[in-house]
Every structure is written in C-alpha cells, then in structure tokens.
Amino acid sequence: MKDFTSDKIRNVCLISHGGAGKTTLTEAMLFNSGVLERFGRVEDGTTTSDFDPEEIKRKNSISTSVCTCEWKDHKINVIDTPGYFDFVGEVKQGIRVADSAIIVVPAKSGVAVGTEKAWAYANERNIPRMFFVNGMDDENEDFYKVLDQLISTFGKNVVAFEIPITEGGKFIGFINLVTMTAMKFDKDKLVDIDIPANLKDKVEEIRNSLKEAVAETSEELMSKFFDGIEFTEEEFAKGLHEGIKDESLVPVFCGSALTNQGIKILMDSIIHLMPSPIESGVVKATKQGSDAIVELKADQSSPLSALVFKTIADPFVGKISMMRVFSGVLKSDSTVYDAATDKAEKISQLFVLRGKKQIPVTMLVAGDIGAVAKLQSVNTNDTLCSQSNAVVLDKIEFPEPVISMAVEPKTKGDEEKIGTGFHRLQDEDPTFKVLLNTETHQTIISGIGEIHLDVVVSKLKAKFGVSVNLTDPIVPYRETIKKKVKVEGKHKKQSGGHGQYGHVWIEFEPGQNEGLTFEEKIFGGSVPRQYFPAVEKGLQESIKKGVLAGYPVVNLKATLVDGSYHAVDSSEMAFKIAAHLAYKKGLEQASPVLLEPIAHVEVYVPDSYMGEIIGDLNKRRGRVMGMNPQDGGIQQVLAEVPQAEMFKYATDLTSMTQGRGRFKLWFERYEEAPPNVSQKVIEESKHRLEETEFE
C-alpha cells in the first residue's frame, strides 16, 4: 500500500442499530476500491470485516474491525462496529479513533433505538456525521418516511443531499441536490438523465432546506440567501463542508449496500465532505504525571502520540495492539515509550488492517490507523509516545459490567485453563471482568448482557479449547443474632496421659462492628489470661459459618465472663474448641437471622417507561427512593433492591425499554431477609451442603 499524507486520510466509523447493513456497506466500499474481487455476504460468512468465527456463526458483528482501502488518491479507514447493545464497548473503541461517522438507517424500518444511540455516541465525541439510508432495493422501502423520522428525531439540521428515483416501485437512480443532477443506474455505471417532472416540486422543497442550512454557516451567505442571490458553486461547497464540520449540517444519502447502488457517490462524499485528521483540529492530551493540558497537532513534524484503542488476543500470533497515531510518525523497528506503564516498548513490523488481513507498512503518519503484534505489556487505552515528550491521551470510557454469572467447568481439572483463557479475553475486552470470589469459591464473570457473556464463553471454547456452564452466582448472604444470651462451652477429654480441658461462659449479643467484637470480663482468674487469645481465635474461626445456612456471621459481640481450667490438661486448643461449642449453642439460642445484601440501583429511562420500571422494581422487593429528571427527557430512578433479585436485570431492562434504559448498581448494606426468602435460602444451602458431602 502506498504512503498517504495526513490530509489524504479519512477515518470514518459506521454505527447503527443491529442489522442495518454496516458490514455489507463496508464490503461494498472495499469492492468498489478494487481490493476485493468478490463481494462477500453476511449470510455466507464471507465478509471481510466479520472474520471472527463467532461472527460467522451468529451472522452479526460482535467486534469492531478496521478495513483500509484507497479511493481517488485518498485512504479511507472504514471502522465497522457492532449494532448489538451488548457490544457497546466495541463501538466506543471504534468511534474514539474516528474523525467522522456514518449512521446507517434501514429504508424499510427507519429510526430505531440503535439509531438514537449512534447519534448519542457521535455527540459524545463531537464528530461530524452523515446518515445513509440503506436498503433502497427493498420493496417496502419508504425514503421520505425515514427522512421525516430523522428530521423529527434529530432536528432540522438533518437535510437530504440525495433523493431516490423509483420506477414501478424499483430504486433506479437518484437526484443529487447539491449538483442538481439526476443519475440512473446502468449495471455498474451511472448515466445522467433529466430530473423527472414528478419530482421537481420535491427537489425544490428539499433544495431550499439545503440552501438555508448552508446559509447558516456564515453571515455573508445568510445575507445572500435572504436577498435571493444564488450561491456560487465554490460558496455552496465551502458552506457544506463547514456546516458538516461544525455539525450544524447532517447530510442524508441513500442507496443499497447489498446491490452496490449509490455507494461510490457515498465514498466520494466521504472524501469531499468529511474532515481529514488535520481538519479535525488539535488533539488535547495531559502531560504525564501532571494535570497540565498540552495540544498536539496532527502533522508528521509533531512529537509522537498514539492511542492503543483495541487489543486482540490471538492464541497463535499472540497479542495484537490496534492503534491510531494522533501526532507525529510511528515507524516499524523503532522504540517508543508507554506512558501508562513507564516502560520502553520495541515496535516490530507495523501493519494496516483489512479485516483479518495484515498489510505490512514502514510507518503510520498522524491520523492513520494500524497495528503491531507482541507488545506484551501494552494494553488498551495506553498512550505510546516519545519519552522526552511523555503525554497521556484521553482514555476510552468503557461502561461498567451490569450482569454477572458463575462459571462451572464441564470437565474437572480445567480450572487453570479457564483462568488463563478468561484473563486473555479480559485483555481483549475491557467491558468483560473476571474474578474469583474467595467466599463462595466461584469464578464470576461479568459483562454488558447475556449475549456478551455467551460470546465470551464461546470464544473460550474456540480459542482455548475449554467448555464451561454458566449459573447464577451464590448470593453472599450473612447471618447475625437478635438477642443476648449467656451460654457454656465445655471441652473435656481424657484418653490416657494428658487430657484436654477447656471451659468457658460467654455472653453473645448483637454488636456494632461488621465482624466480631471480643471482650473479656474475667474475675479471680477463672480463665487464665494466656487463654484469652485462644478463645478469641476459636470464635474468629467459628464466625466464618453461621448456624442457619453456613454464611459468615456479622455484627456479633462476645464477652468471656467465666469458666474454669485444669492446671495440667488445659491448652490453647482445648479453649479454642470450648469457644466453638459455646458459639454454636449461643447462636442457636440468640434468635439467629439471615441478612441479605441490598444494592443501590440507579436506572436511567425515558419518561414514558417510568410506570413500568417502578412497577418492576417493586416486584423485585425494591424500594424506590426518589426520581430525578435528567437532560433529554430521561428520568433517573433511585432504588434499593435485594441483590438476589437483580441478576438478570440487564436483560429485563433492555426488553422493557427496547434498549433505551441503562442502569448502575453497587452494594449498599445488609438487611434482614423476609421469612419466606430466609427459609428458601436455608433449604437451598442444606441441599448444596448435602451435594458437596455426597461428592
């Protein structure tokens, strides 16, 4: 691949609701640029950007991929992102390194939740965008209905640059409202035709909207517009470019990725209308080790700064780090500095990507996207730079996991392979987390949704050859007592020679501290001082298991008040055992209760879903604590809900709100569980203990 300067590069991210046709659009662009001889199909698993075995199996994108191509002396890095909400982390990666976005909208179904989310992602990054109404070959397409939806949803700055020409219900061409020319498809060519008479009124109406939008880009053009003076071709082109760049103008194009109609014009528009890395302006970074902001220019003479935005865990090649150079030049066989780890890193052979194909290059200039293999200590979000000018680029803010499941190996002895595989996959996916719960001895994996975790488990099997089952995690219940009791614990054993003798009287009562509060009030030496630590140790070991369901005991105060000892037979071990006996007897008599973990939950939903959300939280035994209005017609619902009721909430919330809702949750405190819940947990615990003993 030949070298391109920064002004000739375009980084465009394709974003949309699932199934809108982003991957097919990528394929069409690659085909038109001549890098593909054959047009791949999602249904056949032959597309360039969906190369992962999981994507081929599911017929959906699950990872962000970069496909580079050349078009009219420019380089376009097409960033194809998933539409499934579970893979929002991948979308965040793709959009972080893009200078513009194409939001793909189906001509049949129009604006969906994913379209709204795509718009919000572009807003987060403040990048120019355009809409592409895809699937114009569909017999049920309705371009004008979709255009109206786009304008009503996203504002009057959404303006059509093209409108379709149909004949007998078939999409046969389009009218370019910028150049005021009509074109008809003739196999793989475009033929100029006259603007059809039946569309002239529509053309005039939308052309006026376009002229008005262009006029708003400068006072001079606004004055001309009101005076009825036509813009020159140069003024019109400049106004369009400025309007798109400052996001006051959002063009709408149309076509069909599947039949490759209108895609070449879209590619021309990317080059002429979308900004280059240079036009995207200076990049702000932080000086390493301080809060000082520095500005970096996207040119080759600036100091190097590159962001690692994605990591691929390849079991054969090793780790592949995908990066965008924001300033300076990154060269093959060079040494760079990782500002995150404070280490020098050797860059071997750089390459640019076209799906899974790696095309070697000698360098990546400012604005370009590429990758390098085997950077062992480099992770996603690390900044690579020169040590003399160490900076930290803004990190990608990934959403926190909202669903957790416990992992059980299908084959005994696979635990180590499971741990290794999951940690490699965690390097690849920052929205995926894995931890070992030392209390329940379960491996817990967490992610954005059930599909996300299902994909992770499938990858574990495909890449690392190990299969697992997913189950609900064991809830970390606690036990405590409600009343004060005084009990005796006596351990006496004689078996020839030295015997064992330990004898204590202990008062147990509800305490204030989270664990055990131990005191002693011994008078007259009934228990020698040297045995106090043994009594406390015996109790500390005992509270790891309660008497109801075997969960740890909290908020317990124990006071050693009396006892006795034997000059020969008493020992630390004997007093430890005596303390344990007193503990078991005391807790059984002191009205033991089960405590359940309560989560603080914050749900963010549009106003229209409030009733259903509050009703659902109530069904989960939750308490709604308040509601706060947010920007954009969103309400924040604050609630406290038992953790046991929230395992599948991510899936249920998506279903209730068609994907518009989101939530955060964290542990708040423990509360006494209701009798029906307590009884069920105790029975399940006994059953689990019986199964363990049987095994």
Cβ burial of 602 (10 Å; 0-12, 13-18, 19+) is middle
Residue with tokens 């957790």: 404
Q: Domain with 460 in it: what CATH number?
A: 3.30.70.870
Domain boundary among 530, 562, 590: 590
Which helix (H) or strand (E) segment holds residue 16: the answer is strand 9-16
**CB hemisphere CA count around 450 (13 angstroms):** 12
Tell me the one-letter amino acid at 218.
S
Instruction: Write down which residue in 439, 468, 497 finishes a domain.
Output: 468
- Residue whose entry in the numeric block shows the structure tokens 């080759």: 300
695 within domain boundaries: no
pLDDT band for 496, please (50, 70, 90 cuts): low
- What pLDDT sits at residue 497? 66
Question: Does residue 682 sit within a domain?
Answer: no
% residues pLDDT > 90 (the chain): 72
The 10s digit of each residue's pLDDT in 353-409 is: 999 999 999 999 999 999 999 998 999 999 999 998 999 999 999 998 989 999 999
DSSP state of 261: B
Amino acid in the structure at residue 306: A
Return d(Cα 517, Cα 506) in angstroms, integer. 12
Amino acid at 531: Y
Backbone angles phi, psi at 413, to 5 degrees: 95, -5
The residue type found at 628 is: N
Q: Are residues 334 and 186 in the same domain?
A: no
- Report the amino acid identity of residue 147: L
Token reading at 410: 């299908």
pLDDT of 695 higher than 70: no
> Does position 498 have pLDDT exceeding 80, yes or no?
no
Which amino acid type is present at position 693? Answer: E
Question: Is the pLDDT confidence value at 692 over 60?
Answer: no
C-alpha atoms less than 13 angstroms from C-alpha of 478 in its C-beta half-sphere: 18
Q: Is residue 216 domain-resident?
A: no
Residues 32 and 160 in one domain: yes
DSSP state of 644: G
Identify whether the C-beta of residue 323 lies closer than 8 Å to the C-beta of residue 385: no
Q: Are 569 and 500 in contact (CB under 8 A)?
A: yes
- Within a domain: residue 658? yes
Task: Mark whether 508 and 526 lie in a shared domain.
Answer: yes
Q: Determine, yes or no, domain membership for 226.
A: no
Sheet holding 500-510, edge to edge: 485-493, 500-510, 556-564, 516-520
Q: What is the pLDDT of residues 541-596, one digit of tens each?
A: 999 999 999 999 999 999 999 999 988 888 999 999 999 999 999 999 999 999 99
Look up the domain containing 455 and give its range.
403-468
The answer to whether 428 touches 417, Cβ cutoff 8 Å, is no
97-153, pLDDT tens digit by residue?
999 999 999 999 999 999 999 999 999 999 999 999 999 999 889 999 999 999 999
Q: What's the pLDDT band for 282 if we cut at 50, 70, 90?
A: confident
CA distance 361 to 331: 9
In 3D space, the residue among 422, 348, 326 whose CA is nearest the CA of residue 99 turns out to be 326
What is the average pLDDT across 222-228? 87
Per-residue pLDDT for 694 more than 50? no
pTM above 0.75, yes or no: yes
Partners of 421 in the β-ladder? none
Whole-number pLDDT of residue 466: 92
Are residues 209 and 243 in contact, defined by beta-carbon separation less than 8 angstroms?
Answer: no
3-state secondary structure 494-533: CCCCCCEEEEEEEEEEECCCCCEEEEECCCCCCCCHHHHH
Percent of the chain with pLDDT over 70: 98
User: Which are the contacts of 234, defined by CB distance < 8 A and separation ≥ 6?
Assistant: none
φ, ψ of residue 646 to 5 degrees: the values are: -115, 5
Identify the H or E element spanning 222. Answer: helix 219-226
With respect to residue 534, please indicate whether it lies within any of the assigned structural domains.
yes
List the Cα angle 590/595/600 in 5-degree steps: 150
Question: 555 and 599 share a domain?
Answer: no
Provide φ and ψ at 276, rounded to 5°.
-80, 170
Same domain, 464 and 563: no
- 63 with 97, same domain: the answer is yes
Rounded to the nearest integer, the mean pLDDT of the chain is 92
**CATH number for 144:** 3.40.50.300
Burial class (CB in 10 A: 0-12, 13-18, 19+), 606: middle
Is the alpha carbon torsion for 461, 467, 471, 476 positive or negative? negative
Q: Where are the beta strands (DSSP E) in 305-402?
A: 305-314, 318-327, 329-331, 334-338, 343-347, 350-354, 357-361, 363-365, 369-373, 383-385, 391-393
512 and 537 in contact (C-beta within 8 Å)? no
| Gap between the Cα atoms of 386 and 304, Å rounded | 6
Are 95 and 14 part of one and the same domain? yes
CATH of the domain at 661: 3.30.70.240
Tokens of 329: 């030049």
Measured CA to CA, the distance from residue 253 to residue 159 in angstroms comes to 9
Judge contact between 406 and 471, C-beta under 8 A. yes
Question: Same domain for 171 and 313?
Answer: no
Which whole number is the average pLDDT over 300-319? Answer: 87
Q: Output the six-digit token pair for 675.
A: 């009798």
Q: Domain count of the chain?
A: 5
pLDDT tens, 459-473?
999 888 899 999 999
Residue 105: which H helix or E strand, with range?
strand 100-106
Q: Find the CATH number of the domain harbouring 487.
A: 3.30.230.10
In the structure encoding, which two tokens stand for residue 343, read together?
């280490």
β-pair partners for 244: none
Residue 314 clears pLDDT 80, i.e. is over it: no
Q: Is 449 domain-assigned?
A: yes
* Inter-residue contact 253 to 177 (CB < 8 Å): no
SS3 readout for 559-628: EEEEEECCCCCCCHHHHHHHHHHHHHHHHHHCCEEEEEEEEEEEEEEEHHHHHHHHHHHHHCCCEEEEEE
CATH code where residue 295 lies: 2.40.30.10
- The last residue of one of the domains, among 547, 570, 590, is 590
Classify residue 25 as exposed, middle or buried by CB count within 10 Å of its CB (0-12, 13-18, 19+): buried
Of 319, 250, 256, 325, nearest to 77 by C-alpha is 325
pLDDT for 568:
83
Burial of 170 (0-12, 13-18, 19+ CB in 10 A): exposed
**Looking at 410-499, which runs of residues are DSSP E strands?**
433-437, 442-447, 468-471, 478-481, 485-493
pLDDT band at 451 (very low <50, low <70, confident <90, very high): very high
With 80 as the cut, is the pLDDT of residue 688 above it? no
At 523 the pLDDT is 83
Task: Write down the number of H helices and E strands in the chain.
Answer: 16, 37
Average pLDDT score over residue span 77-89: 94
pLDDT for 249-271, tens place per residue?
A: 999 999 999 999 999 999 999 99
pLDDT over 50 at 493, yes or no: yes
SS3 label, residue 657? helix
Which of 198, 196, 228 shows the shortest CA–CA distance to 211?
A: 228
| Same domain flag for 419 and 528 | no
With respect to residue 689, please indicate whether it lies within any of the assigned structural domains: no
Do 61 and 141 share a domain, yes or no? yes
| 300 shares a domain with 260 | no
Q: Which of 236-240, 321-325, 502-506, 642-646 has the lowest mean pLDDT?
A: 236-240
User: How far is residue 685's CA from residue 695's CA, in Å, rounded to a whole number?
Assistant: 15
Of 492, 506, 497, residue with least CA distance to 535: 506
Q: How many CB atoms lie within 10 A of CB 670?
A: 20
pLDDT digits (tens, 9 = 90+) for 516-534: 999 999 887 899 999 999 9
Tokens, residue 637? 């619902």
- Enumerate the β-bridge partners of residue 383: 307
Q: Both 603 and 579 in a single domain?
A: no
